[in-house]
Chains A and B, each alone.
Chain A
Amino acid sequence: MTKSTIPPIRALVGAGLIVLFSLGSAVPLLVEQYKVHQHADPARNDQASFFEARMAGVRQALPLHGTIGFLTDVPESSGRSAVLYLTQYSLAPRVVADNTLLPLVIGNFFSSVPSPVLLEKMHLRPASDFGNGVVLYQRSGDR
């Protein structure tokens, strides 16, 4: 059986448009990602990588299982939830609960650590300071 072929010029124009579109779409993305790769350090540019490095010390110190509390100086308007989720990702399979009522509380601070008076009110005392604003607290009376 012989099938009719489409008019070559129209077919070629259509296919040519597809070729141009694919190049026009993929090449700028390649250039963009190449530039990002050249000028950025994933440990700084990528939030998750940044937190992985930041939480490495405390990850070693904590038991593999269990639930720990969470404290940060980042307000909700500046991305408090993101800090909580990134802390959870970095510390998994431990559960990070959004409160300070547990025996162990992880503090993740970026501009200032809580004052001793505030910690006293929350019945928290520093157990280990891992630097870069990462502090592990213990609830008073808990071991």
Chain B
Amino acid sequence: MAPVSLLMAMATGFLVLRLSVLGDRDTFRPDPASVVFQGALSFGLGVGASSLLYFLWLLGVGAPGKWYPFAEVLLLVALAGTWAMKIARAREPDGAFSGRKEEKARGDVWSRTVTGHFLLILCLATAVGVLISLNRPHGNWDAWAMWNMKARFLFLGGDRWKDLFSVVGELHLDYPLLLPGWIARWWYYAGGDGVLFPAATSLLFLMATAGLLYAALASLAPGHGGILSGICLLGTAPFLREGASQYADVPLAFYILATIVLLLIGNRTGRGGYRVLAGISAGLAGWTKNEGAMFLLALAVSHLAVVGTREGIRAYLRQAIHFFAGLAPFLAVLVYFKWSFAPPSGAVFTEGLVATLGKVLDTSRHYTVLASFLGQFYLFGGPLYVVYFLLAGRGGERRDATSVRLPVLLLALMSVAYYYVYLTTTAPLEWHLNNSLRRIVTQMFPVFLFAFFLRARTPAPVSETSIPPAGKPRGRNRKRGK
């Protein structure tokens, strides 16, 4: 039953995706990048929706009994029925998203080489993930101490699942429940709390993140940015380690990346449905980890700055309404959770103004934080990207330069915010940096790669000449083109 329940969740995600952007045939075309794009998003949206449904069921009904699967099936049938009805009624407009057609460069030696290497790295990453899972079946510290422990309460606790909030407070009881809810749901269908399911969840999110990054760049950017970014992501040891550790950082990285990708596709196509999906994804980021709230704040500011200054406040508000429509239900659950269950979490603003100011003015703390940031920059291959950019230079089109502003500003804001958090932390500084900075970088790394390969030149495949000019989608798409 466990594999079927995974497929049910993915089907839910798939239907949410298709219903949101009904008729976009360009995005949903039958080529590998599009299939991977849909698969990765279906997985992420499905996990999020299932986790939330499980939590709401616990909240409203109690321990999931024999009726719970009917609720999920009912949701699935309702979504499928709505989709079928809409398809039958609507004369589907052609999609306006001028994503690049599949680049037929199979005869190109370079293409074959880089694709072959991507497959090799994919195999290596899978082997590493499986070995790490075998060596630490319950995951690393935070995995068992927080996520899997909470999942046990949600699954084994029955009607007394709220006992979870009576355990020792050091186990971050304020963290939201996307992963525990999903794992508990999977255990429910599997009929036991086996270690396979958290480990599989971890690896699936790792692969979904790589898949989404590859597919988004393959659709949005020229050249081999998609494949190169996939190689970079799965070929970076710290990211791989985090990806297999059963932590929530790679799932959060997935939702952050999905939000940015969907917003950019929404901007290119002018379809509000993508912005609704971006809102859903941002809401799921908030439901994954407390750092998701930091992401939401940084995204709100950067989105306003980029869209508001370029397209005006009215255009921004129109986009923001779509985005908020997707975000609102998840934000409501998150606020309810924080209000009703989560104890206060205090890493910032708890020492008073004088003590905080003292830390801000302490140059040794600046040095320690900067050194740690630079250390992570090196570990995640930062110098490689500097050298690559110096060698290859900028590429893409004018609209890529515009598109890249949102993720770059977002990353800059998040980096500054985290810098301040570390600078003023009430925890011992070195301990705090050593225990969390790598995970923070993990959360931002896929978006960094996305922005980098959206803008950096990559070796162009043979069919590059077929790409239409920016802003002028061809043929039937022209009417809706933006």
Binding site for B on A (CB under 8 A): 1-3, 5-6, 8, 10-15, 17-19, 21-23, 25-30, 33-34, 36-37, 40, 42, 45-46, 48-49, 52, 64-65, 67, 81, 84-86, 88-89, 92-98
- A98 and B168 form a contact (CB under 8 A): yes
- Distance between Cα atoms of A13 and B392 in the complex (Å): 9
- B114 and A15 form a contact (CB under 8 A): yes
- A92 and B131 form a contact (CB under 8 A): no
Q: Is the interface of A mostly helix, strand, loop or mixed?
A: helix
Rounded to whole Å, the gap between the CB of B344 and the closest CB of chain A is: 20
Task: Assess A6 versus B460: contact at CB under 8 Å? Given A1-B468, A30-B124.
Answer: yes
Rounded to whole Å, the gap between the CB of A31 and the closest CB of chain B is: 10
Q: Taking the complex as formed, is B340 at the interface, i.e. its CB lies under 8 A from any CB of chain A?
A: no
Binding site for A on B (CB under 8 A): 110, 114, 117, 121, 124-125, 127-128, 131-132, 134-139, 144-145, 148-149, 152-153, 156-158, 160-161, 163-164, 166-168, 170-171, 222, 224, 228, 231-232, 234-237, 240-241, 381, 384, 387-388, 391-393, 395, 457-460, 464-465, 467-469
- Distance between Cα atoms of A26 and B210 in the complex (Å): 15
Q: Is the interface of B mostly helix, strand, loop or mixed?
A: helix
- B391 and A13 form a contact (CB under 8 A): yes
- A29 and B128 form a contact (CB under 8 A): yes
- A30 and B149 form a contact (CB under 8 A): no
Task: Assess A34 versus B153: contact at CB under 8 Å? Given A12-B459, A21-B381, A88-B171.
Answer: no
The 3 A-B residue pairs with the shortest CB-CB distance in the complex, in nearest-first order: A22-B235, A48-B138, A93-B157
- Distance between Cα atoms of A140 and B370 in the complex (Å): 56
Contacts of B160 in A (CB 8 A): 65, 93
- A6 and B467 form a contact (CB under 8 A): no
- B128 and A30 form a contact (CB under 8 A): yes
- A11 and B392 form a contact (CB under 8 A): yes
- Distance between Cα atoms of A63 and B457 in the complex (Å): 62
Contacts of B149 in A (CB 8 A): 88-89, 92
Task: Assess A5 versus B391: contact at CB under 8 Å? Given A29-B241, A67-B166, A88-B171.
Answer: no
A–B pairs, 18, beta carbons within 8 Å: A3-B464, A6-B395, A10-B391, A11-B457, A15-B459, A17-B384, A18-B384, A18-B388, A29-B240, A48-B136, A48-B139, A49-B137, A65-B160, A85-B170, A92-B153, A92-B156, A93-B153, A93-B156
Contact of A34 among B131, B157, B163, B232 (CB under 8 A): B131
Contact of A15 among B161, B222, B458 (CB under 8 A): B458
